[in-house]
């Protein structure tokens, strides 16, 4: 804040109180600050690389420069570590691929930088038994809600997993309230669908899964990317989800 006698450079009515860190424009209030940003296309953020004369240097300039150097050092360190991290990730993914193939699962893992790869929490219980703990995405289109279940054991019965969302007494009350458009339909009557991969965007088809079978049994022989995404559909609206032709 200034104690000088100069007026606001925007309205010229009162003494200025603020100086823009980027363009040094002097203003008196929020309205003038916003107006100067519009008129000069200024973002109000100090240019860390802008030239400052020695005589004009202040403690704030020195602190800003120090923080910028810290940011650069941190970026270099992260970059140097990234190949090691990718190497470890690739080893885990390759191992999951081998075990998935043995189980008849046609899962495709994406390159590490992609968001779906980074968000996937799927793990193995251990490398000896090779049991999967799946990251599962459940989409309830008729309530416009999506939930993510982390580390669902491959032997989990699909119907049991669905009950934690939709059962009238056993489900989480908060989830049940959010999914009240499903409340009049028995859990076992809901259809669990998984979109078929490899088809054109305008030709969607869905696999119908069996609630009485385990997650692993349902996934066998079906292509999917990273983790299963399940669509929970009411029986009277399933015409919007054409089924795949059995092969």
**72 vs 232: CA distance, rounded Å:** 47
Whether pLDDT at 4 is above 60: no
Question: Is 79 inside any structural domain?
Answer: no
Q: What is the predicted pLDDT for the residue at 144?
A: 94
Q: What is the predicted pLDDT for the residue at 224?
A: 96
For residue 203, what are the domain limits? 103-240
Rounded to 5 degrees, φ, ψ at 96 are -65, -35
- Return the DSSP state at 92: H
**Of the candidates 47, 67, 82, which is a domain's last residue?**
47
Q: What is the predicted pLDDT for the residue at 1?
A: 44
Question: Is 72 inside any structural domain?
Answer: no
Q: What is the predicted pLDDT for the residue at 3?
A: 46
Q: What is the predicted pLDDT for the residue at 77?
A: 56
- 115-152 in b/e form (b: 16+ CB < 10 A) is eeeeebebebeeeeebebbbbbbbbbbeeebebebeeb
Threshold 0.75, pTM exceeds: no
Lowest mean pLDDT among 63-72, 108-117, 159-168: 63-72
The CATH number assigned to the domain holding 225 equals 3.10.20.90
Question: Is 89 inside any structural domain?
Answer: no
- 87 or 61: which carries more pLDDT confidence? 61
* β-strand pairing of 18-19 with 26-27: antiparallel
pLDDT, averaged across the chain = 86
Of 29, 33, 2, 34, whose CA–CA distance to 13 is shortest?
29
- 245 or 48: which carries more pLDDT confidence? 245
Question: Is 59 inside any structural domain?
Answer: no
Question: Is 53 inside any structural domain?
Answer: no
Report the alpha-carbon angle 117-166-212, nearest 5. Answer: 75
Question: Is 111 inside any structural domain?
Answer: yes
Q: 117 and 9: one domain?
A: no
Question: Is 131 inside any structural domain?
Answer: yes
Q: What is the predicted pLDDT for the residue at 180?
A: 92
| DSSP three-state, residue 50 | coil
The number of domains in the chain is: 2
Question: Is 140 inside any structural domain?
Answer: yes
């Amino acid at each position: 804040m200034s104690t000088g006698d100069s007026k606001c450079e925007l309205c010229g009515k009162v003494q200025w109180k603020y100086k823009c860190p980027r363009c040094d424009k002097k203003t008196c209030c929020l309205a003038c600050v916003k107006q100067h940003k519009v008129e000069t296309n200024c973002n109000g953020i100090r240019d860390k690389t802008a030239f400052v004369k020695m005589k004009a240097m202040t403690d704030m300039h020195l602190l800003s420069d120090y923080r910028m150097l810290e940011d650069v050092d941190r970026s270099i360190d992260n970059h140097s570590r990234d190949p090691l991290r990718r190497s470890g990730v690739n080893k885990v993914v390759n191992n999951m691929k081998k075990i998935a193939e043995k189980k008849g699962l046609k899962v495709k893992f994406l390159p590490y930088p992609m968001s779906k790869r980074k968000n996937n929490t799927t793990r193995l219980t251990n490398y000896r038994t090779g049991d999967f703990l799946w990251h599962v995405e459940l989409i309830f289109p008729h309530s416009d809600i999506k939930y993510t279940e982390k580390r669902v054991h491959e032997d989990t019965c699909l119907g049991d997993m669905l009950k934690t969302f939709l059962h009238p007494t056993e489900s989480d009350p908060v989830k049940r309230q959010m999914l009240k458009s499903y409340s009049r339909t028995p859990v076992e009557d809901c259809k669990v669908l998984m979109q078929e991969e490899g088809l054109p965007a305008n030709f969607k088809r869905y696999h119908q899964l069996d609630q009485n079978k385990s997650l692993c049994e349902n996934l066998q022989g079906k292509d999917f990317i990273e983790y299963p995404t399940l669509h929970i559909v009411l029986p009277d609206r399933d015409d919007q989800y054409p089924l795949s032709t059995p092969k």
